Structure formats: C-alpha cells, structure tokens
C-alpha cells in the first residue's frame, strides 16, 4: 500500500512555472526577482525588471535561489 503522506512530508522546495523567486545574486540591472518560465533539467528565469532571460541547470538554480516570493 502506498503512503502518499510520506511524499508530502518530504520537505523539498518545489518551484513551479510562474513562481517568482529571489536569487542570492541579483541581476546587474539591480533586480533580484525572477520569474520561472521553464522547469526541468534546466530552469529558465526571466528578470522581472529588464526581461532578460537566463538559463540555469537545476542544481545551480537550487543553489542560487534564496526563496520564493508569493506571486503578485
């Protein structure tokens, strides 16, 4: 019998499409908020201020992300 509660207890940070996150390193434009526009092996982020796109491997993203911001 599968226990679904077990999976919920697994306290992994989950980041989904459309989430806005704060990265440890701000963009050179001064903005540290990014919107996730692609998830998977690579995460694609869009700078909320200047709309520039960056692509990060999942591991780098997890290392660099500070926290999730509630979407506005």
List interacting residues with Zn ion (CB under 5 A).
27, 29, 31, 47, 49-50
> Which pair of structure tokens corresponds to residue 61?
């993203």
Q: Using the minimum distance from each CB to Zn ion, give the nearer residue, 28 or 40.
A: 28
Q: Using the minimum distance from each CB to Zn ion, give the nearer residue, 14 or 51.
A: 51
User: How many angstroms separate the CA atoms of 10 and 59, rounded?
Assistant: 18
Q: Smallest distance from the beta carbon of 5 to Zn ion, in angstroms?
A: 41
Q: How far is CA 2 from CA 5, 8, 9, 12, in A?
A: 9, 12, 14, 19
Q: Using the minimum distance from each CB to Zn ion, give the nearer residue, 31 or 69.
A: 31
């Amino acid at each position: 019998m599968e226990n679904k509660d077990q999976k919920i207890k697994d306290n992994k940070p989950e980041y989904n499409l459309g989430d806005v996150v704060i990265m440890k390193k701000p963009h050179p434009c001064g903005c540290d908020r990014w919107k996730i526009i692609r998830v998977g092996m690579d995460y694609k982020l869009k700078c909320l201020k200047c709309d520039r796109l960056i692509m990060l491997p999942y591991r780098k993203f997890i290392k660099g992300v500070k926290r999730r911001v509630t979407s506005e």
